[in-house]
Structure 1
Amino acid sequence: MVHDSKMSDFITNDNIIVGMNARSREEAIKQLSNILHKNGIINDAEAFNQDVLAREKQSTTGIGNNIAIPHGKSSSVNIPSFIFAKNSSLLEWDSLDGSKVDIIFLMAIQEKDERNEHLKMLADISERLMDDQFVESIKKENNAQKLLEIFTEQ
């Protein structure tokens, strides 16, 4: 499957967070919204946070294997992007397989997403997550720069 966008188009070193200390799904999303705001990806952390939580209510984004891919489609998003976080403890996430989550890919999607960037981003992330070696390497690695290299290698 060939995509015209790659994971590397949507991630930077600033948006890789290792050792986050959230105690709940809500707290994790709030902390990540604040970082996206600080990094200029979004212009309103509170609005984006609400949009992500609203999306979570529709259906769980916990895809199993301790991984979640929450996303917010929001007018507060400046640049389509995602932030990757490893939480220091496992969080309850209503995952499909009942597993708790400590690996989070939070996607920030523009409300007027004419080019369907989020589908490309989601397809790319999902495709990579089907690769056991990729999953194993992101679970083991705790250095942001090395994680970025894992994400950007094709």
Structure 2
Amino acid sequence: MTETQSQFLTENNIVIGLKAKTQFEAISQLSKVLERNGNISDAEAFTKDVLARESMTTTGIGNNIAIPHGKSASVTNASLVFAKNEYPLDWDSLDGSKVNIIFLMAVSSGDAGNEHLRMLAKLSGRLMDDDFVAAIKSENDPKKILEIFNQK
């Protein structure tokens, strides 16, 4: 990813061993990570905004991966959380797979769409690379995961 992409993901926003039992729990717990790290001001409001977006169409893209995202007034800093959940979750994925790799994107509702689309495009491009996907699925050290993300 480019230097621009790396600013969206920091080591503090990498969660290994998330213990969510449902899609709602995963989004809620990851929203709290964003709030704790100063990326959003209100985890509950952000969770509601993400769930409203989820109700439109699934963000389970297949291959055990989901990219939930939301535009919200509570976002203070566009960012991304990467998480590995301990349990496969039902996510209504396009390929029917359960999800245990989650990328939660947070974008300010004041953003005209550019930041959100740029983040999503870069992430989607990386997720088409089988080697990248295999690397993030097999690695559990946050520092090394960040290195994988920052590789060109």
TM-score (normalizing by structure 2) = 0.97
Q: CA deviation at 1:70?
A: 0.3
1:1-20 superposed matches below 5 A: 6-20=4-18
Q: Partners in 2 of 1:115 and 1:44 — Cα distance? A: 21
Q: Which residue of 2 aligns with 1:55?
A: 53
Query: After alignment, is 112-121 or 17-26 more displaced?
Result: 112-121
Q: Which residue of 1 aligns with 2:73?
A: 75
Q: Secondary structure at the match of 1:58?
A: coil
In the TM superposition, what whole-angstrom CA distance separates every residue of 1:91-140 from its partner, at most 9, and x where no partner exists?
00000111000000000011011361110100000000000000000000
Q: CA deviation at 1:6?
A: 3.6
Q: Partners in 1 of 2:69 and 2:85 — Cα distance? A: 17
TM-score (normalizing by structure 1) = 0.95
Q: Secondary structure at the match of 2:107?
A: strand
Query: After alignment, is 78-87 or 114-123 more displaced?
Result: 114-123
Q: Partners in 2 of 1:63 and 1:5 — Cα distance? A: 25
Q: Aligned AA for 2:138?
A: K
Percent identity for Structure 1 against Structure 2: 60
Q: Partners in 2 of 1:4 and 1:115 — Cα distance? A: 19
CA contact (8 A) 1:73 1:109 kept: yes
Q: Which residue of 1 aligns with 2:110?
A: 112
Q: Cα distance 1:4–1:18, how it changes in 2: closer, same or farther (>3 A)?
A: closer
Q: CA deviation at 1:153?
A: 1.2
Q: Secondary structure at the match of 1:97?
A: coil
Q: Secondary structure at the match of 1:133?
A: helix
Ranges of 4+ aligned residues in structure 1 off by more than 6 Å: none
Q: Aligned AA for 1:104?
A: I
Q: Which residue of 1 aligns with 2:89?
A: 91
How many residue pairs end up in the alignment?
152
Segments of 5+ residues of structure 1 without an aligned counterpart are none
